[in-house]
Amino acid sequence: MAAGGVGAESAGDSYLPASGNGGYRTLGYDLDLKYRISTNRLTATAAISAVATQQLSRFSLDLVGLRASRVSIGGHRVDFRQTATKLRVTPVLPLVDGESFVVTVEYAGAPRPRRTRWGTLGWEELEDGLLVASQPSGAPTWFPCNDHPSDKASYRIRFETEAAYRVVCNGRLTDFRVVAGRGQWTYEQPEPTATYLATVQIGRYAATDLGLGSTAGTLYFPPAIERAVLADFADVPRMVSVFEQAFGPYPMESYGVVVTADVLEIPLEAQGLAVFGSNHADGRGGSERLVAHELAHQWFGNSVGLAAWKDIWLNEGFACYAEWIWSEASGSVSADALARQYRVELSHLPTDLIVGDPGAAHMFDDRVYKRGALTLHALRLVVGDAAFFGVLRAWTTLKRHDTASTAEFVALAEAQTGLALGALFTAWLYEPALPALPAASAR
């Protein structure tokens, strides 16, 4: 505990030491946002439910580029101070350890993305609409939050904007109405969600059912590219079926896919959503592996989240391996052939990166993705298919809507298989030299 009951202004993550906050755990975000697209003007109120984990005479929230005008706790106005990245809140009386509270922040401004070593993140205006892509530290560009993946919470997002546009947020649409030419959209996301996975997408989108059976699934797209979009995302129901067999039941209440009219460098995952650019819809399946990758994040990264950013391979290595599983299941190249192909490609690249702790500058390096996937294939070769997929299903069950670490995955794999696997994981994740793939098990 910090001196005097002051919550730390960091989550203690060495990759993003200025992000997140200490002294409390967030339970839920209730966001009421009013936005004018033509002027990029946001007026909002955030009611944040939390519980103190120490005595708190002061605590902080992450907020970037927007100005708070009023802060209250339990309906009583309290003092606050704001820096470029933090909103410091002083309760009238110190909060005691274990006390539940609701802090309400009224704020406004012209939201914009923040500049980081990974590029610009967060709130981003499109040619005719907007998107939010926050990984890893863009969430404070549109709402005050405890911005670290280890602090998951539920969301209710009420968003008002011009009625000509469709608003897509995380979770289930529970209400929509038009009042005085303004559309009012309300979404509820009960599943625990990391701040970087909360999103708003706005565009002149048409919508159609994805056909996911008992899971609500919707595809949003500009009408002008409907034919290409419908062709390129037609296999999503089959992908869900393949991944449910490999990883366990789909972990969310719904799944949405947004295709923007704009060109995007890469697709983006959010909780219960994936976002693609028009360039990812060529009508010929040119981005099929990316469609599989973003879907797989619903299991790995979204449901099973990160306790710390250094374990990013648990998100990206698993989603990359899911691409190979889909390729094999769909009758294309086998996972084993892809693994051997990418191992050859990695052998020609520098071996100066530790996959299990790549450092902040390299956390999204493609070697984390591919060597992370190869780690899983090495495990599969050693333990055999039945045990391997048993480990994955046990992992998604044990850590459903929770956070996890590499050490926990290794321990689970050993417990499930009865094998000592520490040396395998050390070689693939914590030593720079690229190992050879092991021989396939006779199991």
DSSP-assigned letter for residue 193: E
The dihedral through the CA atoms of 326, 330, 336, 341 has a sign that is: negative
For residue 63, give every residue at least 6 positions away whose Cβ sits within 8 Å of its Cβ, in sequence order, or none: 82, 85, 86, 87, 105, 107, 140, 143, 144, 145
Q: Classify 58 as helix, strand or coil.
A: strand
Binned at pLDDT 50, 70 and 90, residue 205 comes out as very high
Tell me the C-alpha distance between 149 and 363, whole Å. Answer: 15
DSSP string, 213-275: TTSEEEEEE-GGGHHHHHHHTTTHHHHHHHHHHHH-S--SSEEEEEE-SS--SS-EEETTEEE
Read off the pLDDT of residues 76-133 as tens digits, 9 standing for 90 and up: 999 999 999 999 999 999 999 999 999 999 999 999 999 999 999 999 999 999 999 9
Average pLDDT over residues 265-294: 97
For 289-305, b where at least 16 C-beta lie within 10 A, e where not — what string?
bbbbbbbbbbbbbbbbb
Q: At what angle do helices 366-383 and 406-417 cross, to 10 degrees?
A: 10
**Count of beta carbons in the 10 Å neighbourhood of residue 96:** 11
For residue 118, give every residue at least 6 positions away whose Cβ sits within 8 Å of its Cβ, in sequence order, or none: 136, 364
Read off the pLDDT of residues 339-367 as tens digits, 9 standing for 90 and up: 999 999 999 999 999 999 999 999 999 99
Which pair of structure tokens corresponds to residue 317?
């290595």
Could you tell me the residue range of the domain that residue 316 belongs to? 304-430
Tell me the C-alpha distance between 350 and 335, whole Å. Answer: 24
For residue 442, pLDDT over 80 is answered with no
Tell me, yes or no, whether 343 lies in a domain. yes
Tell me, yes or no, whether 423 lies in a domain. yes
Tell me, yes or no, whether 144 lies in a domain. no
How many domains does the chain divide into?
A: 1
Average pLDDT over residues 202-218: 96
Read off the pLDDT of residues 143-200 as tens digits, 9 standing for 90 and up: 999 999 999 999 999 999 999 999 999 999 999 999 999 999 999 999 999 999 999 9
pLDDT at 443: 63
Average pLDDT over residues 65-74: 98
Which CA distances in Å does 428 have to 61, 376, 379, 425, 437?
37, 9, 10, 5, 10
CA dihedral 216, 141, 110, 203 (to 10 degrees): -20
pLDDT at 1: 39
Tell me the C-alpha distance between 32 and 254, whole Å. Answer: 22
Which pair of structure tokens corresponds to residue 147?
């911005």
Q: Specify whether the CB–CB gap between 19 and 62 falls below 8 A.
A: yes
Backbone φ and ψ for 334, nearest 5 degrees, come out as -70, 155
pLDDT at 414: 98
Identity of the residue numbered 7: G
pLDDT at 404: 98
Q: At what angle do helices 236-247 and 313-329 cross, to 10 degrees?
A: 110
Q: Classify 379 as helix, strand or coil.
A: helix
pLDDT at 98: 98
Binned at pLDDT 50, 70 and 90, residue 440 comes out as confident
Q: Specify whether the CB–CB gap between 319 and 290 falls below 8 A.
A: no
pLDDT at 441: 74
Note if the bond before 432 is cis, omega within 30 degrees. Answer: no
Which pair of structure tokens corresponds to residue 83?
């820096």
DSSP string, 104-155: EEEEEE---PEEETTEEEEEEEETTEEEEE-TTT-GGGTS-B---TTS-EEE
pLDDT at 186: 98
Read off the pLDDT of residues 121-157 as tens digits, 9 standing for 90 and up: 999 999 999 999 999 999 999 999 999 999 999 999 9
Q: Classify 196 as helix, strand or coil.
A: helix
Percent of the chain with pLDDT over 70: 99
User: What CATH number is attached to the domain comprising 313?
Assistant: 1.10.390.10
